[in-house]
Amino acid sequence: MNDDGARCHRYIYPIPNPGPESFEKARQHPPSNRHDLESEQLESSISPPFHSQSLKSLHLSLLLRQFDSYSQSNGKEASLFNHESRIILFRASNRAYCSRSFTTDVKHKIVEVGPRDGLQNEKQIVPTSVKVELIKMLVSSGLPVVEATSFVSPKWVPQLADAKDVMSAIQGIGRSKFPVLTPNLKGFTAAVEAGAKEVAVFAAASESFSNSNLNCSIEDSLARYRDVAIAARDRAIPVRGYVSCVVGCPIEGAVPPSKVAYVVDELVKMGCYEISLGDTIGVGTPGTVIPLLEAVLHVVPVDKLAVHFHDTYGQALSNILLSLQMGISVVDASVSGLGGCPYAKGATGNVATEDVVYMLDGLGVKTGVDVVKLVSAGDYISKQLGRCSNSKVAVALSKKMAAAAASKL
Amino acid sequence: MSSLEQPLGLDKLPCLSNIDAPFRFSSGACRPIPEDMGMGNCWIEGRSCSSSNSCDDDFEEYAEDPIGWRTKMRNSLSRSSSLGRSCVACGTTTNFSYLSNYNDTRGSKYRLFKDIPRYVRIVEVGPRDGLQNEKKIVPTSVKVKLILKLVSSGLSVVEATSFVSPKWVPQLADAKDVMDAVKHLKDVRLPVLTPNLKGFEAAVAAGAKEVAVFASASESFSKSNINCSIEESLVRYRAVTSAARKLSIPVRGYVSCIVGCPVEGYISPSKVAYVAKELHDMGCFEISLGDTVGVATPGTVLPMLEAVMAVVPIEKIAVHFHDTYGQSLPNILLSLQMGISTVDSSVSGLGGCPYAKGATGNVATEDVMYMLNGLGIKTNVDMDKLRAAGEYINHYLGRASGSKTAVALTRRASPLPDASIA
């Protein structure tokens, strides 16, 4: 067997033309238990937080059902599976390539940050009614969490000066959660008065960025957030933590993963239920994301982590794919890619939710989000802002949807 | 579209590392030594690597451990057994002695990047695949200058032009003139598209030293795009390849619509494997798998690549993803994880998608380079010169770059804003 043969055969079972009998064989002979045990032991010694749910007997019927329901609910191009590729996919899922920490039982969550993180970077002040309409459309597309606004001083973020009005307008819409940013106890109090049921705090992994962005050191910001966390705990209000500059800082350059792990640890210790790791300037690539995640996974279980990649260098989706492979199941994104990068004028910032949902759908991940409704929400806000969507999926699908609508007339 | 395929991931069979080691090197491409993923410096830096990245450079040795967590990991693992996962290195080099302590710390990153190549060849298709989709006719001199700039950035393969009938592709009617101007260039391969024997003969007469043929995995797309069925196109290409063999001219094969077709919808992986195998058997030295409408996601790329890798050796497979739905970089990452080491891309993302007006097409070479640099994969391409080539052609075409990396790198000089942004 030459090199080529070895490499090729690593990826498939030895029978080159799949037929029902090879499929049966594959199902009856999952990878050896001994190796699984070794892997599990190794994994638990390296990183206890990895999910230990096993992938074996991933319920082929479940797989097939999901394929079917997905393809039925999508257009022609999206319905991609016939019997043959199901076999190939099952074989693939039954051997080494699959993530042990990623199963279809885990429901992945998309946290929509467009109305806050997206809009706050837009120069043009958006009226409250437009913000509320956007939030309503996002909720109706199925997004489980929509970051509504921020209770920071209007002096710093004039776009979100109407935080109170937005909050009162969205009370009781749908079943989504609406976290709001609260930089300190004062903001927290205002948020609670306005009806907020979940808050978020925002630390930096880089000292210089913390000083320039929050006007205080990392330790000072953590002290402030401890106050917020205590007050939140008294009211049973969950707190989400953000860490910015997890890969690189516009001032300092590279940020060591150990620093990020430290800040994450502090946020978890003070009571944050989830920590979102933000690649603020978008410089992360899969090569830098792995050590970052490994460092953080030493201090916090994977189910408490979210990733918030920026698409400034076009790397967000591949970073997200990698994070999924490492077991992360919460992804932050912004509809229509709202929110540029303040550090590279004209460059993009947040990754577009439509693009993320497209990829997750392609992987069979359950997000509960309807891409078509999401694209409509993105179109709405893009029109209001008078510019094109930053989402490639939205651009590609909009043209198609318009053509389809025109042909029906 | 979907797949329920689990994302590539954590390899759960650690014993494979012992089997794989001897097979890791193949001719014509660098393969990773088990301990050396070549990513050390990039992982520390957190930024893209230096713009010059030659395969000849030695990797730096990490004498210190600037990152505390690595020491912590090593310490915690030294207590546990190696669990039979001996780190058999094949051909260890002394440069990476620090990595021998890494045996057990490879963990997930090892499993996720076990097969990732150490060197990736980028095939630049901008001058042909990119420009042919541009409405504005670009003068020969501009095309030639673009090719020269691309070659000077270190790209080793630049698809120069296409010898198809000018009636079909007016943009490339000046194929002969372009070839005249560039055929003397050294240390670079300049393949040209040849749809049939007539085009092949014209290409050879014009001085081409490498040609490419273009089949489709979708019957409908084949008929609408090249006006013949898949089988008929393969017959034509057999004529081209046998003529090319007599002249010792290598032939590259393309397969389009590897995941989805604008007419038929889903394309089964076995069909793609069939066409790829036919092209390979007729003598193509490399098969480039093209996601023509950009609908592929990692979930659909996996089964397709598996099917093709069963019939074509992996080092002969290249991937050509379109960024119409923004999915090309994750698809490329997945292909790298599966061991593919040749990637097609187009400088500045030249070339829209003809099937979704206004949508993007080819993936931008700069963005691919940024990711490869971040992974520590060598490409021999200079990012600054590449960007300059992109700026040149965008300036001529009067439009913004299609590459996010190029935009960001160009504008990175902006100072920090005053207002704090929480």
For A212-232, the pLDDT digits (tens) are: 888 899 999 999 999 999 999
Contacts of A116 in chain B (CB under 8 A): none
CA B372 to chain centre: 10
SS3 B340: coil
Rounded to 5 degrees, what are φ and ψ at B349? Answer: 65, 30
Mean local confidence (pLDDT), A347-356: 91
- pLDDT-derived band of residue B368, with 50, 70 and 90 as boundaries? very high
Q: Are A127 and A161 in contact (CB under 8 A)?
A: no
Mutant choice from A54, A97, A119 vs B, greatest count of B C-beta within 10 A: A97
Mean local confidence (pLDDT), B341-356: 87
| The three-state (H, E, C) secondary structure of chain A, written as one string | CCHHHHHHHHHCCCCCCCCHHHHHHHHHCCCCHHHHHHHHHHHHHHCCCCCCCCCCCCCHHHHHHHHHHHHHHCCHHHCCCCHHHHHHHHHHHCCCCECCCCCCCCCCEEEECHHHHHHHHCCCCCCHHHHHHHHHHHHHCCCCEECCEECCCCCCCHHHCCHHHHHHHHCCCCCCECCEECCCHHHHHHHHHCCCCCEEEEEECCHHHHHHHHCCCHHHHHHHHHHHHHHHHHCCCCEEEEEECCCEECCCEECCHHHHHHHHHHHHHCCCCEEEEEECCCCCCHHHHHHHHHHHHCCCCHHHEEEEEECCCCCHHHHHHHHHHCCCCEEEEEHHHCCCCCCCCCCCCECEHHHHHHHHHHCCCCCCCCHHHHHHHHHHHHHHHCCCCCCHHHHHHHHHHHHHHHHHC
Nearest-neighbour CA in chain B from A343: distance (Å): 6
Interface predicted TM-score (ipTM) over 0.95: no
DSSP code of residue B288: E
pLDDT at A109 exceeding the cut of 90: yes
Known catalytic residue at B353: yes
pLDDT at A179 exceeding the cut of 50: yes
The most confident of the ranges B4-8, B133-137, B289-293 is B289-293
Nearest-neighbour CA in chain B from A172: distance (Å): 26
Q: Does B66 touch chain A (CB under 8 A)?
A: yes
Mutant choice from B12, B71, B373 vs A, greatest count of A C-beta within 10 A: B12
Active site residue: B42, B87, B257, B353, which one?
Answer: B353
Nearest-neighbour CA in chain A from B35: distance (Å): 15
Active site residue: A8, A245, A341, A388, which one?
Answer: A341
Contacts of B349 in chain A (CB under 8 A): none
Nearest-neighbour CA in chain B from A344: distance (Å): 5
Distance CA B285, CA B283 (A): 6
Contacts of A399 in chain B (CB under 8 A): 356-359
- pLDDT-derived band of residue A45, with 50, 70 and 90 as boundaries? very low
Which residue in B297, B314, B417 is closest to A359 by CB distance?
Answer: B297
Mean local confidence (pLDDT), B23-39: 33
Contacts of A99 in chain B (CB under 8 A): 6-10
Distance CA B319, CA B258 (A): 10
Mutant choice from A285, A294, A389 vs B, greatest count of B C-beta within 10 A: A285
Distance CA A344, CA B218 (A): 42
Q: Does B293 touch chain A (CB under 8 A)?
A: yes
Mean local confidence (pLDDT), A122-146: 95
For the whole prediction, is pTM greater than 0.80? Answer: no
pLDDT at A403 exceeding the cut of 80: no
pLDDT of residue B262: 87
Contact A45 B16 (CB under 8 A): no
pLDDT of residue B168: 84
A279 bridge partner residues: A309
Contacts of B117 in chain A (CB under 8 A): none
pLDDT of residue B182: 95
Contacts of A359 in chain B (CB under 8 A): 297-298, 326-327, 330
pLDDT of residue B22: 33
